[in-house]
Each structure stands twice: as C-alpha cells, then as structure tokens.
Structure 1
Amino acid sequence: MTQRVELATVMDRLALDGLVTEYAVAVDDGDWEAYRGLFTANGRADYRSAGGIEGDAGRVADWLDRTLRLFPMRQHLIMNRRVRFDLLAHDVGDTARVRADYVNPMRFETGDGDPAEPDFVCGGRYAFAFLRTDEGWRLREVIVEEKWRRMPRHRGQEAGT
C-alpha cells in the first residue's frame, strides 16, 4: 500500500469509529433526530434479539423513543471494535462492517421521578454495516445480538427465590 492509501484507510477507520460513538450517544441521550441522521435513506436496524423490533431507522427510532423512556439513565459502552472494509469486485472500499461488543447499564424509572436501584444491565455484540455517501459514512444496518442481561430483583427478594 502507498502512504496515501494507508492514510485514507486510517481516516476511514476514524470516521467509522466516530459514527459508532455518535450512535451510542444518540441512543443514550434520546436524540432521535441525530439517530435518524446516522443512517442512509434506506438504513435499517434490528433489535429483535433484545426483545425489540426490526425495520427502517425512522420506525425503529420511534420505537426506541417510546421504549427507552422507562430508562432515564442509559450509557452504552461499545468496545472491541473490529473494522472490515469490503473489497468485492464491484466495491472500491465504499462499504465497511464493524463488529463491536457492548455493555449497556440502564436505570429504571420508579414512577415517582426517582431512579430505581439496582440497574438493568445487558451486553452483547453489534454488527454495523456502513456505506460511504456524498455526506460521508452512514449506517446501512445495525443488528443487535444481545447475549446476556441482568434484571434487578424486587426489594426483599433473596437470591434464588
């Protein structure tokens, strides 16, 4: 590879990393306009493994808006990002995939405005698919593969009961 190609690859990796971070911040902050703006016009998201829905980014953003109101505190931690640029015969490097693990602590709303204790926590892996557009890299697809979750026990409930 030439230095120019290597520099372009580094810049693309940084852009993809930034987009994954923007995704997490949009979800955690409930910024559904920003969430929608991360996707291509036909971008899709699939949250079925976590008990959610699959569909176009706008529909999924509406569902997330309604569902995540139960959790006034959310904090995605996305790590172990593995970036792959697709180099198919018809592709000149304008598509990419990122697989990344996540841990997502969230705090339930009690109904009286105070956050509940303890937290609901889940973890798993994201599969992000990207497309380079005239506006820069955008998400074509997000698939959530939830692998585990820990639900809070009710007050007074002991372990194993």
Structure 2
Amino acid sequence: MGMSDAQRTDTPLRADEVTTLRAFLDFHRDTLRWKTDGLDQAQLATPLAPTTMTLGGLLKHLAFVEQNWTIQVLHGRPSLAPFDDAPWDEDHDWEWHSAAGDSPQELRVLYDAMVAASDHAIDEALARDGLDTLAAREHRHGGGRFSLRWILVHLIEEYARHNGHADLLREAVDGLTGQ
C-alpha cells in the first residue's frame, strides 16, 4: 500500500474558516485515497452485501460530486468529461455502475483530476467573494443560490458519509481497518 493513515492532511485546531473547511475537505479526500489505495480492479469492484456499492464506485461517484458542485453548480459551467456525455437518461447511477469497467489507474487519475478542477474552481470563487460567493445555480427546490460556504460543508458531509462506507468495504475486501 502506498498511502497510510499518517499521510492524510492534518486538520488545524485553530485556523480561519477557509483554512479549516479546506483542511477538513482535504482530510476526507485523503481518507478516500487511503481506503482505495493498493487495490486491483477486482477488489475495487467488490461489493459488500446487501449493497452494490464498491470502492471503485465511490471513487467515481465522488469525482462526479466534486465537479458537479464546484464546476456545474458553483460556476454554472458544463460538466467535465467523462460525465458530460455519460448516458444519465439510461442509468441515473452511471458513475457507480461504470466504475467496475475502469482500471484502478483510470479511477485514480479521474478522481485526482476532478479534485484538482474542484480546487481550482474553489480558488476562483474564494478570490471573488470568499465563502459568501453565491453559486450560479439555484437550489432546485427553491430558496435561492448556495453559498460557497454551504457547498464546502456539503462536500465535507458527502465525504464523511461515504468514507464510513469505504471503511466497511475496505475491511470486507482485505481486512484493512482504521479511521
């Protein structure tokens, strides 16, 4: 295994809001990398009954989540490849299902590319109006536009939930445990 628990981003005990939010987001990104590191394609495609969720599916789903919230919602830009021409009408969970056909390297490269694009989009928004930057898109159920602050907290929440899944999936695959 290449990455370990000790290599994850440390979260500061005392820092400004932006530094704290970004450190927690990076901590959770690193946790997902750690939980999926060193596994082959079959291991990344192994579900843990009764769910069909896999570690590879988590990587691809969170790559989608990153670009969806920061590229599409925050900036109102088109979805990035491969999500831009995915057959969403045929399979609403395409990213979860298609991950089984992707190699570990493809999944990791896609994930890291979407994280980099997301970080760039976050930097752009921070430079504009800081955490108070409003998203280009409105909430689909009304209530107005999301703030960058809300988007960052939501990304942290999304990772925290899915990293719990990753803990269980990884332990089932090869016995690796740890938070």
Larger RCO: Structure 1 or Structure 2 (Cα < 8 Å, ≥ 6 residues apart)? 2
Larger Rg: 1
Larger strand proportion, structure 1 or 2? 1
Q: Decide: shared fold, TM above 0.5.
A: no
> Comparing both structures, which one devotes a greater share of its residues to helix?
2
TM-score using structure 2 length: 0.31
